[in-house]
Amino acid sequence: MGIHDLPSTYDDLDYFNRAYDRQHVRFADSNQQVAKYSAIFHPGDRPTFCRSSHPQLSPGL
């Protein structure tokens, strides 16, 4: 994958990840559609804190 110079501590990795996201991650409607259907077809893949008992917030559960 060509990944080089990864941080050696968790705190440094967290900083690196957040800085990367700020620079590269942007909203796109196409991404929202993928996330929507991923949540419907793979509801168990989300961490527990991301799940909801409300059907409109967690379709497919």
pLDDT for residue 23: 92
User: How confident is residue 12, by pLDDT bands cut at 50, 70 and 90?
Assistant: very high
The pTM is what? 0.44
The pLDDT of residue 26: 85
Q: What is the mean pLDDT of residues 21-40?
A: 82
Q: What is the mean pLDDT of residues 12-32?
A: 88
Name the DSSP class of 58: S
- pLDDT tens-place string over residues 43-58: 666 666 665 555 555 5
Cβ-based burial of 46 (10 A; exposed 0-12, middle 13-18, buried ≥19): middle
Contact predicate 41/60, CB 8 Å: yes
Domain boundaries, the chain: 28-61
- The radius of gyration of the chain from alpha carbons, rounded to an integer in Å, stands at 16
CA torsion, ordered 36, 42, 45, 47, to nearest 10 deg: 50
